[in-house]
Chain A
Amino acid sequence: MTIKSTFVAGAVFATMSAFSVQAADVVKIGFIDPLSGPFASTGTNGLAQYQFAAEELVNKKGGILDGVKFEIVPYDNKISPKESLVQLKRAIGEDVHYIVQGNSSGVANALTDAIKKHNRRNPDSRVLFLNYSAVDPALTNEKCNYWHFRFDANADIKMNALTEVIKVRDDIKKVYLIGQDYSFGKAVAKAAVTFLKQKRPDITIVGNELHPIGKVKDFTPYATKIRASGADAVITGNWGADMVGLGKAIGDTGLDIPIYTYYAANDGITKTIGEGGKDKIRLVHEGPVNPPSTPEYSAYHTAFKAKFPEKDVSQFRIANVIGMLAAAMEKAGSTKPIDVAAQLEGMEFTTLHGENVVMRAEDHQLIQPIHVSVHTNEGITFDSDNSGYGMKTEMSVAAADTALPTTCKMKRPK
C-alpha cells in the first residue's frame, strides 16, 4: 500500500510540475519574511512595499535591460530560522536567485550561512541575499560573506546616532535597556552599553533586560519594573507585536520618560501609542519622512498610500533595495547574481530622498545618512497608521559620520 500511495503521489507531482512555467524575461525576487504569527503585520507591510517598489520603480518604466521585469514571490517563514531555510530551498527550486529578508537577525544569520553554503556547492545557480532590515552587526563583521548585502544601518550605527541625542540631554542620569532575547536584542544592549560609556560616563544603566521574543502576553510587569527602577529614559530595540505591547504597557502605567527606539512606528504601533507617546518616543531610521524631502519622494509616498491606504512606507530602504538592484543589473548588462554582486559592491546611488549612499565594498554595509525622529502630531505631512501621528525628523547624521570600522575579511570568488 505504501507503493500504491507513492505512485499516486507521483502522479500528483507530475501534473503539478507541469504548471510551473518560467519566463526568461522576469527576475524573481524571493521575499522570505513572516506573513503569519505575531509579526505578520510587519511582514505583510514589507511585502506590499516591495510589490509597490518593483511596480513603480522598475516595471512601470518598462523594466530593465530592454524589458526584464521584477516579480516579488512571497514565502512565509513564520519568523523561524528553520522554516526560512525550508522556504529558501523551495525558492531556489522555483528558480529564484535573489532573496530579500529583513525581519529577525536570527533568520538572517541562518540565511546568510545557508546561502554561502549553497553558492559554494552550486556555482551554476548562485543566490544573492539582499538584507533590508536585519541589523545584527555580526552580519557585516565576523559573519560577513560576499553574497550578503545589507541596506539598513546596523545596530551599532543606529545606536551611535541615538546616543548622539542622549549625549546632550543632561537630565538623563539613569537608563533602562529592554529588548528581545535573541541576537539583535543582545546586539542593541551591547551597543547601548558601549556607546553610553563612551559618550556619557555619568549615566548609570539601571536595568538590562531581555524578554522572550514574540511570547510575552502582557508587558505590564516589565513596565512596573522600569517604573520602580527610577529610570529617566528607556532604550529598546523591540519591534512588531513586542513594541506594541511594550508601548501600551508603558503608556498604561503613566510613565512619563523618553523612550529611544529602533522600530516604534507604523505597522499599528503608532496608532496604539497615539497621544500617550507624543514627544516621548524617538526613533532612529533612514529616509526622512517629515518634513518631506523631495517632490520625487512625495509622489512615491502619495502613490503608495493611494494603492495601499491601510499600509505605510514604513521601511524606505525597500525602495533602495529595488532601485540599487535594478541599477546594478543595468550596469552589469546581466541578471546573473555573480555579475550583479560585482556591481553592487562599492556602488554609489542617489535615493528618492536625494541622499547619496554607498554600498561599502569591504563589508557590504550600506553607508547612508541616519535620522532621529520624534513621535508627534505637529508638523506631520505623512502620518503613520492613518492616525494623524507620525515621525518628525529632529536630528540627522551625515552618511560619512555614521561609518564605523568593520572586522570583515571578505572572501571574494575567483
Chain B
Amino acid sequence: MFELLFFSLLNGVVTGLLLFMLASGLTLIFSMMGVLNFAHASFYMLGAYFAYTISTYVGFWPGLILAPILVGLVGAVVERYGLRHVHRWGHVAELIFTFGLAFLIEEVVQFIWGKDTKAYQEPEVLQFALFNFFGQDFPAYKAFMLLISISIFVVLLLILTKSRIGLIIQAAITHPNMTAMLGHNVPLVFMGVFGVGAALAGVAGVIAGPALGTFPGMAVVLGPIVFVIVVVGGLGSLVGAFVASLLIGLLQTFAIALDYSVNDLLMLFNITTDADSALRDLWTLSLPQIAPLLPYLLLVLILIFRPTGLFGKRET
C-alpha cells in the first residue's frame, strides 16, 4: 500500500507540474486580456510536433530550445494579427476566435504531420531507471520533467516579483490604462506575454510529447483541464495556478490508485444493494470511474460559490 501511495504521489506531482506549465501562461494571458485562450493547449501540441520534427534532424536537445521559441513566435503573431484585430468586436468574439483557432490548428497539424501518433522518443541518455523502490522503477525522464517544470516555476516567480518587466506586467494586469498613461507600451507587453505564455505551453509540449504521446488529439485531451486550473486557482494568481495544478494532478492519479466504490462505502454501514436495479451504475460507481469527472465538478462548484477562485482577488 505504501508503495502505491508513494508512486501515485510522484506521478501526481509530475502530471500536476506539467499542467502548471500550461496553466501559468494561460493565467497570465487571461488576467491581462480577459480572454480565456482556447488555443492555449494547441500551442502545447505545436510544441510537441515542432520538437518532433527538429528531433528527427538534430536530436532531442536542440528541440527543447528551438521548439518553444518557434511556438512563442507563432503565439506573438496570433496576438498581433489575430486577437488584436478581433478585439474591436468584443470579448465574445475574442473567445470565439481562440476557439476557432484551436480547431484550425488541429486541422493544420493533421494536414502537415498526418493523423497518426508520431514516434517522438525521449533522448537515449534519459532512458534508464533513476531509482528502484519496492521493485518498481522510476524512469529518469520523469525526474527530468519534474526538474524542468520546477525550474520554470521558480524563474517565472522571480521575474514577476523581482524584475522591472515583472512589475510592469503586474501593473498591466490590474491597471492597463494607468500603465499605458505612464508611457509603457501596453500592446507590446500584451504581445510579449502572449508569446511567452505560448512558449511555456510549447516547453510543456516538448517534454510531454515523448511521455504522453504526440498525436493530433493531444490538445483536446488537455485543454479543458487547464481551464479548470486557471479558474480554480484564481485569476492572475501564479501561486493559485501552481496549487490548483498539483491538486488536479494528484486528484487524477489517486482516484485511479484508490479503487473504492459507493458499494464499499455502503458496506461499511451494512447496506446491501440490488445488482439489477436501474440505479445499479450508481452503486458500482468507483473512484477510478469518476476520476475524469472530478476536475469539472470542482470547476462548476468554484464558479458558483467562489468565483474569485482559491487564490484570486478578482472575479472571473
Q: Do chains A and B touch in the complex (CB under 8 A)?
A: yes
Interface status of B163 (Cβ within 8 A of chain A): no
Interface status of A378 (Cβ within 8 A of chain B): no
In whole angstroms, what is the CA distance A215 to B256 when docked?
Answer: 14
Interface residue from A217, A221, A253, A271 paired with B119 (Cβ < 8 Å): A271
Interface status of B237 (Cβ within 8 A of chain A): no
CB-based contact A228/B256 at 8 Å: no
Quick one: given A221-B257, A225-B257, are A253 and B115 in contact (CB under 8 Å)? no
Interface residue from A41, A253, A271 paired with B136 (Cβ < 8 Å): A253
In whole angstroms, what is the CA distance A272 to B119 when docked?
Answer: 8
Interface status of A222 (Cβ within 8 A of chain B): yes
Interface status of A278 (Cβ within 8 A of chain B): no
In whole angstroms, what is the CA distance A368 to B68 when docked?
Answer: 53
CB-based contact B136/A254 at 8 Å: yes
Closest CB-CB distance, B178 to chain A, in whole Å?
Answer: 42
CB-based contact A241/B213 at 8 Å: yes
Interface status of A212 (Cβ within 8 A of chain B): yes
CB-based contact A252/B139 at 8 Å: yes
CB-based contact A227/B3 at 8 Å: yes
For chain B, the bracket of interface size reads 20 to 34
* Inter-chain contacts of A268 with B (CB < 8 A): 116-117, 119
Q: Which of A9-17, A32-40, A402-410 contacts B (4 or more CB under 8 A)?
A: A32-40
CB-based contact B212/A218 at 8 Å: yes
In whole angstroms, what is the CA distance A38 to B215 when docked?
Answer: 7
Closest CB-CB distance, B126 to chain A, in whole Å?
Answer: 12
Name A253-278 residues within 8 Å CB distance of B. 253-255, 268, 271-272
In whole angstroms, what is the CA distance A227 to B134 when docked?
Answer: 9
Interface residue from A211, A228, A254 paired with B288 (Cβ < 8 Å): A211
Interface status of B224 (Cβ within 8 A of chain A): no
In whole angstroms, what is the CA distance A30 to B7 when docked?
Answer: 47
CB-based contact B292/A228 at 8 Å: no
* Inter-chain contacts of B3 with A (CB < 8 A): 227-228
Interface status of B221 (Cβ within 8 A of chain A): yes
For chain A, the bracket of interface size reads 20 to 34
Interface residue from B8, B129, B137, B217 paired with A221 (Cβ < 8 Å): B8
* Inter-chain contacts of B257 with A (CB < 8 A): 221, 224-225
Closest CB-CB distance, A263 to chain B, in whole Å?
Answer: 15
* Inter-chain contacts of B90 with A (CB < 8 A): none
CB-based contact A41/B4 at 8 Å: no
Interface status of A74 (Cβ within 8 A of chain B): no
* Inter-chain contacts of A255 with B (CB < 8 A): 136
Interface status of A44 (Cβ within 8 A of chain B): yes
In whole angstroms, what is the CA distance A171 to B94 when docked?
Answer: 62
Contact with B along A190-228 (1 / 0, CB 8 A): 000000000000000000010110010110111011011
Contact with A along B157-179 (1 / 0, CB 8 A): 00000000000000000000000
Max count, chain B CB within 10 A of own CB: residue among A36, A215, A228: A228
Closest CB-CB distance, B213 to chain A, in whole Å?
Answer: 7
Closest CB-CB distance, B19 to chain A, in whole Å?
Answer: 11
Interface status of A244 (Cβ within 8 A of chain B): yes
Beyond A38-B217, A227-B136, A228-B7, 7 additional contacts (C-beta under 8 Å) are A35-B115, A221-B8, A227-B3, A228-B1, A254-B135, A254-B136, A268-B116
3 closest cross-chain pairs (CB), A and B = A254-B137, A228-B4, A221-B256
Chain B contacts to A: CB under 8 angstroms: 1, 3-4, 7-8, 11, 15, 110, 115-117, 119, 129, 132, 135-137, 139, 211-213, 215-217, 221-222, 252-253, 256-257, 259, 288, 292
25 sample A-B contacts, Cβ–Cβ < 8 Å, listed by A number? A37-B216, A37-B217, A38-B117, A40-B115, A41-B116, A209-B259, A217-B222, A218-B11, A218-B211, A221-B8, A221-B256, A222-B256, A224-B4, A224-B7, A224-B136, A225-B4, A225-B257, A225-B259, A227-B135, A227-B136, A228-B4, A254-B137, A268-B117, A268-B119, A272-B119
